[in-house]
Structure 1
Amino acid sequence: MLKTRSDLDDARLTKAAQAGDRDALETLLRRHQPKIHAICRRLAGNDADGQDATQEALIAIVRGLPRFHGTAKFSTWAYRVATNAALDELRRRSRRPVPAPAETDDRLAAAAAGDDPASVAVRLDLDAALAQLPEEFRAPVVLRDVAGCDYAEIGQILRIPPGTVRSRIARGRARLAEAMSANGGNHHDTPQRRNDEASRP
């Protein structure tokens, strides 16, 4: 049976895309866009900046693909690009005049879309708590708990040792829990966090 492009692994699709196969490139982008957007959205802290960072990341991936040598997995490289795009967006935002609260815009957009108010509140509580984390903790927590990356991959993305990744995630989660409690929000919980805690000696 012939394989379709959607059945091919990232390595084969990457080589095809680098050779000029547009369909292979589009398949790669569609495959990884949800996690790229999730990373950008959580790091940026609101829908508008998250979308801007996602677009910048996708453009950077397309432009940088010819220089991708395959020393890491395509996903690792793509998530590094996404992380950098989101952090760059945060730095640009810090230099801009302060607009109306993004939280208000997100609440209005969610209401218009018919989202459950309780889930919107939890999401905004998490955004507010993440915004209080320094970059060194925020990025590894998002990559672990939102993107589901393992410690080794996060180390490659952030270019830090796996032991440092583990330490920063633990400290970041602790700060996140404190911030959410202080804000009256729910405890931050993900399958990755439950697995990590269950594996502790």
Structure 2
Amino acid sequence: MAERDGAQPGRSDLELLRAHAAGDRDAFTELFRRHRDRLWAVALRTIGDREEAADALQDAMLSAHRAAARFRGDSAVTTWLHRIVVNACLDRIRRRQTHATVPLPDGVHTDGEPGRHTGGPEPAAPAHDHDTALVVRQALAALPAEQRAALVLVDVQGYPVAEVAAMLGVAEGTVKSRCARGRARLAVLLGHLRTGADAPAADVPRLTSGNRRRPEGVGSSSGASRQAVSQEEP
């Protein structure tokens, strides 16, 4: 893999992890620095709150730091790190689910089948990208934790389905199913971002031009919901 500036070009992720387990005090710091940005992005988009995401990432890295000697090499080190981060986020999401509700756009409710609408007036599209980003974050937060994690990894971060399955410890078909269900739900929650019922995905405002992996197709979805999520900047 390409190393970041300042990385030790002679040592792979696995070599750094093994060096850490053998007592190298700098190896884990270098490993974390190498993957910090992507791990932070996954934590932030999965959990939806900067303070909680920072705590989850810290918990995850402490776990990885302590468990390094038990790494068996069944997957890439980066896959292993992502799995620990996602699990830390999911644990926090489950713990807080009973303590808060997420405000959703007017006319949308969460107690029925995907696609149902209360019949109230469809809200106007937000005037600014900041408002749209907030709505996207709220919609993501309304998804079940497992669907949210799958969508973040596949549609936002652009990891292949097979790699996400390894990160989450589930079958590839499960990842595809979670993504499909999540996209169907987001199509309802984010439908008001379109300018009309038949508006193409391009009508959803572009919120960021940041680089990400090219997502692997995993079945049908709403173009608007996928583009809004993949371009949402936490």
TM-score range for the pair, normalised by the shorter chain length: 0.7 to 0.9
Query: Residues 191 and 18 of structure 1: is their aligned pair in 2 closer, same or farther, counting only changes over 3 Å?
Result: closer
Greater Rg, structure 1 or structure 2? 2
Q: Give the 4+ runs in structure 1 shifted more than 3 A.
A: 117-120, 182-193
1:81 & 1:126 partners in 2: Cα distance? Answer: 25
Go from structure 1 to structure 2 and tell me whether the alpha carbon gap of 1:187 and 1:120 turns closer, same or farther (over 3 Å shift).
closer
Provide the C-alpha distance between the structure 2 equivalents of 1:33 and 1:119, rounded to a whole number of angstroms.
26
Greater mean alpha carbon deviation, residues 73-82 or residues 169-178: 169-178
Measure how far apart 1:154 and its partner are. 0.8
Tell me if 1:66 matches 2:76: no
Aligned-pair distance for 1:59? 1.3
Looking at structure 1, the residues matched to 62 and 218 of structure 2 have their Cα atoms a distance apart, in angstroms, of 37
Post-superposition shift, 1:187? 6.8
Listed one character per residue, the Cα deviations across residues 67-86 of structure 1 (whole Å, up to 9, x for unaligned) are: 11111111111111001111
When residues 30 and 122 of structure 1 are mapped into structure 2, their CA distance, relative to the original with a 3 A threshold, is farther
Under a length normalisation based on structure 2, what TM-score does the superposition of the two structures give?
A: 0.66
Under a length normalisation based on structure 1, what TM-score does the superposition of the two structures give? 0.75
Name the CA distance, whole Å, in 2 between partners of 1:188 and 1:162.
29
Map residues 1-201 of structure 1 onto 2, 5 A cutoff: 5-7=7-9, 8-96=11-99, 98=100, 118-182=128-192, 186=204, 192-193=214-215, 196=217
Report the CA distance between 1:164 and its aligned residue. Answer: 2.4
Report the structure, 1 or 2, having the larger helix content: 1
- Compute the RMSD of aligned alpha carbons: 3.3
| Preserved CA contact (<8 Å) 2:79 2:167 | yes
CA distance in 1, matches of 2:58, 2:164: 22
The answer to whether the Cα contact below 8 Å between 1:56 and 1:85 also exists between their aligned partners in 2 is yes
Residues 55 and 86 (structure 1), Cα distance of their counterparts in 2 relative to 1, 3 Å cut: same
CA contact (8 A) 2:43 2:86 kept: yes
Aligned residues: 180
Kindly, what percent of the aligned residue pairs are identical? 37
Query: Is residue 53–residue 85 contact of structure 1 (8 Å, CA) maintained in 2?
Result: yes
